[in-house]
């Protein structure tokens, strides 16, 4: 009897809302028997390399992924690298998912690189993918996709269900929401903070996290950063007077000092951050409910990051070890703080930092606070350091502050190295030795007055 086709779950079922959504992240697999699967992320335009073309590329997926050659608009793909191009140009042949022989389609599917590639194969060969065939493929793909997007900071367990079709439905939902969810990289610093908040345990995303949206339309229709944060933060609790409370309740976020509030999303760039381009996927937020004078963050991720940090230091998950102050605008250290505060957040990314800003605009007072979160990639050994830059504006004086936070134990050698690299030797040295310029400035002013009187 012929194999019974899988008709209960249709991975290729697409809605108009999906058009124009960010493509999923490519995931590399080892070559299989000389066949290197290389689909594009465009459903019907997907293509793979023939076995002959991939012979020289077996086991070299890393080389292929680092190639500067990009897929053509019609979904065609080039050879793995320029070095191999001439060598294999006689047998290079690009084929679509429909050209894969039916009898080997399930085998090829075991080594596809992304959810959309699997969709393309199932679209082309639906009769080959029974529940028994598809289930292990989905389980394997889900594990690789989660690792590629989040690394060890997030776990997505396989649903513990009795019916294989139910597991397929749940795994498919997870893959769809992860691969069509947008740019998850913006949440890397937040995931590291959540790791610390949860007692050095990875975030576990279960059925409730993936069930927070009732439909695909609701999922696609939500602002990208908001829908991602809802998925990641659902079920996260923080300690309030010894009692656990939900960090998020719907769109409301619980700030340690100011309680729960729903941050309104701005429809255009914030005038408070004129040099930050407007990103509709991660728009500015106004936190007037958090503060009588009003607070503005340049994007939603900054708001979430600052709230998480408030719970980190409030719960003694990270310790304040150094602080420095200057009210001497002429000093080089003071000017260096100004430079770091005005630098685009993308500059800080070069230092391995997540940057979270907030400003408090007012007619007679304006403040700017910037958190620079330096996590595992910079600190190593599961540690985190945070450099807080503070600009306080008053009528008569304009001090600048630097505060250093870390999870590292004394003598804080790694934290010191990171601080020097980010702040520079001059400012970093003053901060590390806590050589405040406030007293020097006042003493110099007092000496000047004394000389004038004499």
Please report, for the chain, the start and end positions of each structural domain, with discontinuous segments joined by +: 16-180, 186-306, 318-446
pLDDT tens per residue, range 319-374: 999 999 999 999 999 999 999 999 988 887 777 889 999 987 664 556 899 999 99
CB 191 within 8 A of CB 201: no
Comparison of pLDDT for 182 and 67, the residue scoring more = 182
- H helices present in 73-163, as ranges: 82-88, 105-109, 115-124, 131-150
Separation CA 341–CA 372 (nearest Å): 10
Q: What percent of the chain has pLDDT over 70?
A: 71
Q: Averaged over 136-144, what is the pLDDT?
A: 93
* Predicted confidence (pLDDT) per residue in 16-50, tens digit: 333 334 333 333 333 232 333 333 333 333 333 33
CA distances from 40 to 13, 78, 228, 346, 447 (A): 18, 11, 24, 29, 72
Q: Whose structure tokens read 């050095």? A: 200
Q: Which of 120-134, 188-202, 279-293: highest mean pLDDT?
A: 188-202
**pTM of structure:** 0.76
Give the architecture (CATH level 2) of 318-446.
2-Layer Sandwich (3.30)
Q: Which residue from 370, 259, 353, 368 is spatially nearest to 306, judged by alpha carbons? A: 370
Cα separation, 51 vs 353, whole angstroms? 42
What are the distances in angstroms from CA 134 to CA 113, 176, 178, 384? 15, 15, 19, 41
Terminal CA-CA length for the chain: 110
Q: How far is residue 137's CA from residue 120's CA, in Å, rounded to a whole number?
A: 14
| Rounded Cα–Cα distance for residues 337 and 302 (Å) | 20
Could you tell me what percent of the chain has a pLDDT over 90? 48
User: Is the Cβ–Cβ distance between 11 and 122 less than 8 Å?
Assistant: yes
């Amino acid at each position: 009897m012929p194999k019974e086709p899988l008709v209960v779950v249709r991975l290729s079922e697409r809605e108009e809302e999906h058009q124009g959504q960010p493509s999923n992240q490519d995931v590399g697999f080892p070559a299989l028997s000389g066949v290197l699967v290389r689909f594009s992320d465009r459903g019907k335009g997907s293509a793979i390399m023939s076995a002959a073309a991939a012979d020289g590329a077996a086991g070299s997926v890393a080389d292929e992924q680092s190639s500067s050659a990009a897929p053509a608009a019609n979904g065609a793909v080039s050879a793995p690298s320029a070095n191999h191009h001439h060598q294999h140009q006689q047998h290079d042949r690009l084929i679509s998912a429909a050209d894969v022989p039916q009898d080997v389609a399930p085998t090829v599917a075991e080594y596809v690189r992304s959810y959309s590639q699997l969709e393309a194969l199932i679209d082309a060969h639906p009769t080959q993918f029974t529940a028994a065939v598809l289930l292990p493929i989905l389980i394997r793909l889900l594990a690789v996709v989660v690792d590629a997007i989040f690394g060890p900071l997030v776990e997505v367990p396989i649903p513990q269900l009795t019916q294989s079709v139910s597991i397929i439905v749940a795994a498919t939902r997870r893959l769809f929401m992860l691969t069509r969810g947008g740019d998850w990289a913006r949440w890397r610093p937040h995931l590291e903070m959540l790791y610390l908040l949860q007692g050095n345990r990875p975030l576990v995303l279960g059925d409730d996290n993936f069930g927070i949206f009732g439909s695909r339309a609701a999922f696609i229709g939500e602002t990208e950063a908001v829908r991602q944060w809802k998925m990641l933060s659902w079920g996260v609790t923080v300690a309030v007077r010894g009692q656990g409370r939900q960090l998020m309740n719907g769109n409301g976020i619980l700030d340690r000092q100011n309680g729960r509030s729903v941050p309104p999303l701005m429809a255009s760039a914030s005038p408070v951050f004129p040099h930050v381009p407007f990103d509709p996927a991660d728009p500015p937020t106004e936190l007037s409910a958090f503060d009588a004078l009003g607070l503005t963050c340049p994007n939603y991720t900054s708001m979430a990051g600052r709230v998480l940090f408030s719970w980190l230091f409030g719960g003694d998950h990270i310790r304040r070890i150094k602080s420095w102050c200057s009210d001497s605008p002429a000093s080089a250290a003071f000017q260096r703080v100004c430079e770091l505060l005005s630098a685009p957040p993308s500059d800080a990314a070069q230092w391995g930092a997540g940057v979270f800003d907030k400003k408090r605009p007012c007619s007679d007072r304006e403040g700017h606070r910037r958190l620079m979160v330096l996590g595992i990639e910079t600190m190593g050994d599961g540690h985190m350091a945070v450099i807080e830059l503070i600009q306080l504006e008053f009528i008569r004086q304009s001090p600048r502050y630097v505060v250093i936070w870390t999870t590292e134990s004394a003598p804080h050698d790694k934290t010191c190295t990171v601080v020097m690299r980010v702040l520079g030797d001059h400012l970093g040295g003053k901060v590390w030795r806590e050589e405040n310029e406030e007293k020097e400035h006042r003493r110099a002013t007092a000496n000047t007055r004394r000389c004038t009187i004499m």
